[in-house]
């Protein structure tokens, strides 16, 4: 009722007391004035303090007042032990900050629902397959004819929505010279309606915007892009931009907060699916995801079964067009795919798939570091509680209740946790975006919305609460259970407290071990992966993605590459269909000596003459391509190819037949003219596949040149920093052929590093957490040993006086701790081995069970422990028996 006034009164307590005093003084004066004896009147008033307390108990919220004074006392306590408090707050702050940071990332990538209606019902269709190494995997790519069948068949149970992969495109708003890059997403016309979205300006698409191939050049802007690019100008409606050859008209702006469905890659604008006109009737092109929004009451499992049936029937039809020689197992696996409807409440992206486990494991590591920190602080508090046993005993003697004591000690923990949370919040504010920016390549970073909203607030509050209880409750219970008689007499048995501290040391050792072990695995994996032989030299190499407005003849490309070679600073240049390790790939079945194709189809790459020299792929035998060579007549193959098909003999002069593709059984005979060493093509993890290089110049059956629209120019510069030449090269391409544009320039080094990005992140963060855990565990160990030396100095003094050798004393002081370390490490090893299943996918080139992977962390922890133990043991050695015994 009057709670508010009572709470407010807590904060104006002094004024309240002054008023009270004044009132009473007046009362006494009047009493005396009316003839009462001054002493008697004062006595009638009783104890002034009692009266004041009685008034306060009426006027104040007593619980709050107690709590306040507990906090004031706690802050005094914390300030008394400045060094320990700062260390505790900083370490806890780092741990809480790291936890919050992980939470923000994990939440943003995996759990934060899309800002659409009923996001929790949304699903994405995936189809299982077995990859070439025999691992189960799944794909989410669909082709349009199949999608159409699915949509039609499921229309009573669910809305089936096509949503493209969000990708960067070159667009121009004004003149063609000002190319901008923006992220595009293809969407089905009915997407916005199904998602319950409303336009901020203009209109959104409807089904009528998505009817006929290439007939709807309209675009909707994402709200964020609209604000960034156009400053939120509503007159943007009706403006046009050009992408490729098509002019798109902006018809509307989406609602605030919605930026497509690709979590981590926000879309800037949306265009109808139909604008990918060439792909609409092509069952061979898989290029978007199929989303399912089940109608209320529809059974997800029924939808799944139905869809699976349709997909299998569709594939049954498709394999009829395959060449007769296709391996049976491959056909069966293709047809009998398992369709799944994966929850997509938080959006759906490949970043989620790639980083789910990695972030989860980092989250666990961070949690372990937090536990180690908590154990440290619990030890600190326990030691302090022991030092304060007399104070507590005194409090009990003068009538403090147990709950009140627990509250007193918990207030200290809570204050610590609060300070640490503030620090941690700041740390998370900085670290979450810093980590996020390392998740994808620097020029196209992962972009997650990382708001510090109520989700983060709740998480931090819960965390601070849990942390307070974790490290505070036990010392508080202990402190409050003090028995005044024995405490005031000179101390209880110190052993009980040391047992708890020893147990905490074991926990710290175990968790520290797990953190180190995991970090070691990540570090080794990163090391192995980044030292994988490439087979080519990535240094000083730039690759320029160039495209012309229309199909250009091979001569145009050759003219450009000749121009590039003539530039100063260019050492060598060549052309390839796409750069090595860019993620693009082309594989095709081949027949050697009429044999059926191998399960793993070889890779193909179109390259120009001198490409091999530019990339420094060594020629083993035969020759490089010449200008008159043309696809599909000649080929250069690698060692793996020779190994698989020609028993490792020099294949120059031999021939093979390339399958004509899935819709024809026509084969093309190609002659091997060159033989090169293995080079990485697409992936750093897989064994190097047989690879066939074919001439970039391509001719049709009649020998006429075939034009193409895009290619990569690969340039080796002679300066250490190839990017210094980027702007010169960017201008050189259109200077040579004006119909060409450079859409992107990457160093080959970046392309290589892309493949170790996740491993690098894991190694970096793993090492950071390992160091943190080690320092914390070392500090904790030091604290416990130091405390136990302090507690036992009487015993040590007596032993010394009786002539115990120093080694014996050192052993007595530290034996308990080191046996706990052994127990802890043992538990750590067990935990490490159990984690194999979760780490397997993230580890490369090392086995969880490698003995040195287990031995190294143990050695590090023991070394740190010995380092931490030196000072307290030395202190024990310096105990002066005479002083000690006299002190008693």
Partner 1 sequence: MPKPDSLQGSLDLLILKILKGRPGLHGYALMVAIKEFSDDVLRVEEGSLYPALHRLEMDGSVKAAWITRAGTGRRARTYELTAHGRKQLAAEESRWQTVTAAVNRVLRMA
Kindly tell me which of 35 and 803 has the beta carbon lying closer to partner 1: 35
Q: Scanning residues 5 to 44, which ones bind partner 1 (CB under 8 A)?
A: 5-6, 19, 22-24, 26-27, 30-31, 34, 44
User: Cα–Cα distance between 192 and 442 in angstroms, integer?
Assistant: 32
In the bound complex, what is the minimum distance in angstroms from residue 399's beta carbon to partner 1? 14
In the bound complex, what is the minimum distance in angstroms from residue 474's beta carbon to partner 1? 33
In the bound complex, what is the minimum distance in angstroms from residue 401's beta carbon to partner 1? 14
Cβ atoms of 359 and 109 within 8 Å: the answer is: yes
Element (H or E) spanning 586, and its range?
none
The dihedral sign for the CA sequence 398, 400, 406, 410: negative
Kindly tell me which of 55 and 831 has the beta carbon lying closer to partner 1: 55
Q: Compute CA 447 distance to the chain's CA centroid, rounded to the nearest angstrom.
A: 12
Strands 740-747 and 667-676: unpaired
Can you read off the two tokens belonging to residue 586? 């082309």
Kindly tell me which of 6 and 203 has the beta carbon lying closer to partner 1: 6
User: Cα–Cα distance between 692 and 689 in angstroms, integer?
Assistant: 10
Q: Scanning residues 467 to 486, which ones bind partner 1 (CB under 8 A)?
A: none
Strands 619-622 and 667-676: antiparallel
Kindly tell me which of 46 and 426 has the beta carbon lying closer to partner 1: 46
Can you read off the two tokens belonging to residue 156? 């009573």
* 446: DSSP letter: -
In the bound complex, what is the minimum distance in angstroms from residue 50's beta carbon to partner 1? 7
Can you read off the two tokens belonging to residue 476? 């508080």
Kindly tell me which of 27 and 198 has the beta carbon lying closer to partner 1: 27
Cβ atoms of 589 and 324 within 8 Å: the answer is: no
Cβ atoms of 824 and 507 within 8 Å: the answer is: yes
Helices 495-530 and 757-791: crossing angle in degrees, nearest 10, is 160
Kindly tell me which of 20 and 364 has the beta carbon lying closer to partner 1: 20
Count of C-beta atoms within a 10 Å radius of residue 392: 23
Kindly tell me which of 59 and 438 has the beta carbon lying closer to partner 1: 59
Number of residues that bind partner 1 (CB under 8 A): 23
Q: Compute CA 414 distance to the chain's CA centroid, rounded to the nearest angstrom.
A: 30
Kindly tell me which of 31 and 699 has the beta carbon lying closer to partner 1: 31
Which residues are bridge partners to 201 per DSSP? 253
| Cβ-Cβ contacts under 8 Å for 174 (sequence gap 6 or more) | none
Scanning 594-717, the segments in alpha helix (DSSP H) are 611-615, 639-646
Q: Hunting for tokens 């202990």 — which residue is that? A: 478
In the bound complex, what is the minimum distance in angstroms from residue 26's beta carbon to partner 1? 6
In the bound complex, what is the minimum distance in angstroms from residue 231's beta carbon to partner 1? 55
Kindly tell me which of 5 and 833 has the beta carbon lying closer to partner 1: 5
Kindly tell me which of 6 and 181 has the beta carbon lying closer to partner 1: 6
In the bound complex, what is the minimum distance in angstroms from residue 38's beta carbon to partner 1? 14
Kindly tell me which of 47 and 531 has the beta carbon lying closer to partner 1: 47
In the bound complex, what is the minimum distance in angstroms from residue 44's beta carbon to partner 1? 6
In the bound complex, what is the minimum distance in angstroms from residue 27's beta carbon to partner 1? 5
Q: Scanning residues 40 to 99, which ones bind partner 1 (CB under 8 A)?
A: 44-46, 50-51, 54-55, 57-59
Cβ atoms of 273 and 151 within 8 Å: the answer is: no
In the bound complex, what is the minimum distance in angstroms from residue 71's beta carbon to partner 1? 24
Strands 167-171 and 339-343: unpaired
| Cβ-Cβ contacts under 8 Å for 733 (sequence gap 6 or more) | 544, 546, 560, 564, 713, 740, 741, 742
Cβ atoms of 303 and 157 within 8 Å: the answer is: yes
In the bound complex, what is the minimum distance in angstroms from residue 234's beta carbon to partner 1? 55
Element (H or E) spanning 196, and its range?
none
The upper half-sphere exposure of residue 260, i.e. CA atoms within 13 Å in the direction of its Cβ, equals 32
In the bound complex, what is the minimum distance in angstroms from residue 64's beta carbon to partner 1? 15
Kindly tell me which of 18 and 211 has the beta carbon lying closer to partner 1: 18
Kindly tell me which of 28 and 326 has the beta carbon lying closer to partner 1: 28
Q: Scanning residues 210 to 229, which ones bind partner 1 (CB under 8 A)?
A: none
Count of C-beta atoms within a 10 Å radius of residue 731: 11
| Cβ-Cβ contacts under 8 Å for 871 (sequence gap 6 or more) | 782, 786
- Site residues (CB under 8 A) for partner 1? 1-2, 5-6, 19, 22-24, 26-27, 30-31, 34, 44-46, 50-51, 54-55, 57-59
């Amino acid at each position: 009722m009057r709670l508010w006034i009572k709470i407010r009164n807590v904060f104006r307590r002094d004024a309240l007391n002054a008023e009270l005093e004044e009132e009473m003084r007046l009362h006494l004066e009047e009493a005396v004035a009316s003839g009462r004896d001054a002493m008697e009147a004062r006595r009638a008033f009783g104890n002034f303090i009692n009266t004041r307390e009685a008034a306060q108990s009426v006027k104040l919220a007593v619980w709050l007042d107690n709590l306040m004074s507990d906090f004031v006392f706690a802050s005094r306590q914390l300030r008394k032990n400045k060094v320990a408090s700062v260390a505790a707050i900083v370490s806890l702050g780092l741990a809480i900050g790291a936890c919050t940071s992980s939470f923000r990332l994990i939440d943003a990538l995996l759990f934060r629902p899309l800002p659409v209606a009923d996001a929790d019902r949304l699903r994405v269709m995936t189809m299982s397959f077995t990859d070439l190494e025999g691992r189960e995997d799944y794909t989410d790519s669909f082709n349009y004819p199949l999608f159409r069948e699915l949509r039609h068949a499921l229309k009573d149970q669910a809305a089936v929505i096509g949503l493209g992969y969000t990708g960067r495109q070159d667009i121009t708003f004004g003149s063609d010279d000002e190319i901008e890059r923006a992220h595009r997403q293809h969407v089905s016309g009915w997407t916005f309606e199904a998602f319950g979205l409303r336009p901020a300006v203009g209109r959104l698409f409807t089904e009528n915007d998505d009817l006929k191939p290439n007939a709807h050049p309209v675009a909707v802007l994402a709200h964020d892009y609209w604000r960034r690019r156009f400053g939120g100008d509503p007159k943007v409606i009706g403006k046009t931009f050009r992408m490729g050859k098509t002019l798109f008209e902006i018809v509307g702006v989406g609602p605030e907060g919605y930026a497509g469905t690709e979590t981590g890659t926000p879309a800037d604008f949306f265009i109808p699916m139909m604008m990918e006109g060439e792909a609409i009737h092509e069952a061979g092109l898989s290029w978007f995801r199929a989303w399912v929004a089940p109608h209320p009451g529809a059974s997800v499992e029924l939808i799944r079964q139905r869809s699976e049936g349709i997909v299998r029937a569709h594939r049954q039809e498709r394999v009829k067009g395959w060449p007769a020689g296709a391996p049976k197992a491959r056909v069966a696996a293709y047809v009998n795919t398992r369709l799944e409807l994966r929850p997509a409440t938080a959006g759906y992206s490949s970043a989620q798939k790639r980083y789910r486990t990695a972030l989860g494991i980092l989250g666990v590591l961070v949690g372990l570091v937090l536990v180690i920190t908590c154990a440290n602080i619990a030890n600190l508090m326990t030691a302090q509680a022991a030092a304060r046993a007399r104070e507590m005993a005194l409090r009990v003697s003068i009538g403090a209740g147990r709950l009140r004591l627990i509250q007193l000690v918990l207030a200290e923990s809570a204050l610590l946790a609060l300070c640490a949370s503030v620090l941690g919040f700041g740390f998370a504010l900085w670290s979450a975006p810093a980590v996020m920016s390392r998740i994808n390549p620097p020029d196209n970073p992962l972009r997650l919305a990382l708001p510090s909203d109520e989700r983060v607030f709740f998480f931090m509050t819960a965390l601070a609460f849990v942390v307070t209880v974790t490290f505070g409750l036990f010392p508080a219970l202990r402190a409050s259970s003090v028995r005044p008689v024995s405490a005031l007499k000179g101390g209880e048995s110190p052993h009980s407290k040391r047992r708890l501290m020893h147990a905490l040391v074991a926990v710290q050792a175990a968790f520290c071990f797990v953190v180190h072990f995991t970090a070691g695995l990540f570090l080794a994996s990163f090391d192995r992966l980044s030292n994988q032989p490439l087979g080519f030299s990535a240094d000083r190499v730039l690759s320029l993605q160039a495209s012309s407005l229309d199909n250009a003849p091979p001569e145009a490309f050759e003219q450009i590459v000749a121009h590039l070679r003539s530039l100063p600073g260019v050492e060598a240049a060549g052309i390839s269909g796409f750069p090595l390790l860019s993620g693009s790939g082309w594989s095709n079945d081949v027949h050697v000596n009429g044999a059926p194709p191998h399960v793993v189809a070889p890779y193909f790459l179109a390259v120009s003459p001198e490409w091999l020299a530019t990339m420094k792929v060594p020629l083993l035998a035969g020759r490089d391509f010449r200008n008159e060579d043309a696809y599909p007549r000649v080929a250069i193959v690698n060692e793996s190819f020779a190994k698989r098909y020609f028993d490792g003999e020099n294949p120059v002069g031999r021939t093979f037949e390339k399958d004509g593709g899935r819709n024809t059984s026509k084969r093309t005979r190609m002659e091997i003219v060159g033989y090169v060493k293995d080079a990485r093509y697409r992936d750093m993890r897989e064994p190097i596949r047989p690879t066939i290089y074919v001439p970039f110049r391509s001719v049709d059956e009649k020998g006429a040149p075939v034009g193409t629209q895009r290619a990569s120019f690969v340039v080796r510069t002679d300066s250490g920093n190839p990017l210094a030449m980027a702007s010169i090269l960017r201008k050189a391409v259109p200077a040579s052929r004006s119909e060409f544009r450079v859409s992107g320039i990457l160093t080959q080094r970046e392309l290589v590093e892309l493949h170790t990005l996740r491993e690098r992140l894991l190694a970096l963060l793993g090492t950071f957490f390992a160091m943190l855990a080690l320092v914390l565990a070392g500090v904790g160990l030091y604290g416990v040993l130091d405390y136990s030396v302090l507690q036992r100095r009487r015993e040590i003094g007596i032993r010394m006086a009786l002539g115990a050798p120093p080694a014996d004393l050192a052993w007595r002081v530290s034996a308990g701790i080191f046996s706990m370390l052994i127990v802890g490490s043992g538990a750590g090893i067990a935990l490490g081995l159990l984690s194999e299943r979760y780490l397997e996918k993230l580890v490369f080139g090392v086995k969880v069970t490698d003995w040195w992977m287990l031995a190294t962390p143990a050695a590090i922890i023991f070394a740190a422990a010995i380092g931490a133990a030196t000072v307290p043991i030395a202190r024990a050695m310096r105990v002066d028996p005479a002083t000690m015994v006299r002190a008693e």
